[in-house]
Amino acid sequence: MFPKWFSKWNRDNPVNVEWPAVVVGVVGVAVIAVTALVTLGQPFATDSLQTGPRGTGMSVPEFKADLATPDPIIATMFSDEPYLPEEGEELAGDIYQNVQVLGDLTDANFNRVMGAMTRWVAPEQGCAYCHGDGDLETYGQDTLYTKVVARRMIQMTQNINENWDVHVNANKQVGVTCLTCHRGQNVPSGIWYQLGEVNKSAEGWAAHQNRVTPLSQYTSLPSDALEAYLLNGEIIAVHDLDSRVAGVPGKDDYPAIQNAERTYSLMNYVANSLGVNCTFCHNTRAFYDAGQVTPQWATATLGIQMVNELNNEYLVPLKDVYPQTRLGPVMGDAPKAACMTCHKGAQQPIQGTNVINDWPELAVTEGAPSYSQ
């Protein structure tokens, strides 16, 4: 069929056609895949929340599949509407001993709230987690630290709902209950402790780098950002707008580079706690300008102020109540709250589910709530 010279040349010059075939096949599959994506659409489609002016890149993209996935804790939530009090009904404070909070509730509503707290915080241990294994006559005793802490946590929850409504309910009524942080666990996730000497720079070659810790999100940024801004209430500051400023940075009323690092460490923590990026709150062309921020910036600022109050007024003072096993492993300090304690990676805790609707008793700091039909 072919000339003899061609057959001889072909035998003397064999060609490996396998690799060219593989290359052609891979290119062909890639072309088909790209064509399918363009024609049928991206299978891992994203949705974008615009946070600032168009064309500035101020948006928060998320996979639609992730947005459509409900928080697992939502499936465990239950409804238990309050009982409308009847005139002359006896109150919990008159029935039981040593009721220092929620004593203005009727017996039915008091036990309704107590039952909910048990399911939110100690579903396995039940009432015994705070009251011990004795009979009802012993429930008024403060023999277990868990009961003393729980009482203070009720007051903290009421304070959040009543006095920090501008942060908690910035978009709609959401509220907080024990479930917001505990989610069926005795000890909430997302709490933090001081790390003491670990905050100092590492030794050796990395003498000017901070040690990597969970509180720095496993970066070499300072690990004391939560302590500085969510406990000590220090001013969040990055730099001075003037190129040359007289004096010593960090001492003469303007921030040093360490302040910038510490601020970035906090911002990194906040971003991870809410599952967002910088443009959720800031215009990246002018981080320092409060006139160019998004509405979320104000909500986040109030949240920082709220956490400062919660740590200093409610959580830190409980140090002497906790057993040694519940204190920090380095400094022996009480567990403290931060953004992750409630948000757990979501822009709104429990994806913005209204958790307070059936529990108005946890939204007032004094007396019983105003029940309605």
Is 239 assigned a ligand-binding role in the annotation?
no
Is 343 assigned a ligand-binding role in the annotation?
yes
Is 331 assigned a ligand-binding role in the annotation?
no
Burial class of residue 270 in the structure, from the number of CB atoms within 10 Å of its CB (0-12 exposed, 13-18 middle, 19+ buried)? buried
Q: Are 164 and 302 in contact (CB under 8 A)?
A: yes
Is 182 assigned a ligand-binding role in the annotation?
yes
Mark residue 344 as left, alpha or beta (left: phi above 0; alpha: psi -120 to 50; beta: remaining): left
Distance between CA atoms of residues 314 and 77, nearest Å: 26
Is 156 assigned a ligand-binding role in the annotation?
no
Is 1 assigned a ligand-binding role in the annotation?
no
Is 340 assigned a ligand-binding role in the annotation?
no
What's the count of helices (H) and strands (E) in the chain, helices before strands? 13, 2
Buried b (16+ CB within 10 A) or exposed e, 128-150: ebbbeeeeeeebeeeeeebbbbb
> φ and ψ at 192, to 5 degrees?
-145, 160
- Residue-level length of the chain: 373
Q: How far is CA 9 from CA 4, 14, 20, 21, 222, in A?
A: 9, 9, 21, 22, 72
In sequence order, what E strands does the chain have? 46-50, 59-63
DSSP string, 313-341: IIIGGGGGTS-GGGS-TTT-PPPB--HHH
Is 208 assigned a ligand-binding role in the annotation?
no
DSSP string, 217-240: TTSSS-S-HHHHHHTS--------
Is 339 assigned a ligand-binding role in the annotation?
yes
Annotated binding site for heme: 114, 127, 130-131, 153, 167, 178, 181-182, 267, 278, 281-282, 339, 342-343
Binding residues: 114, 127, 130-131, 153, 167, 178, 181-182, 267, 278, 281-282, 339, 342-343
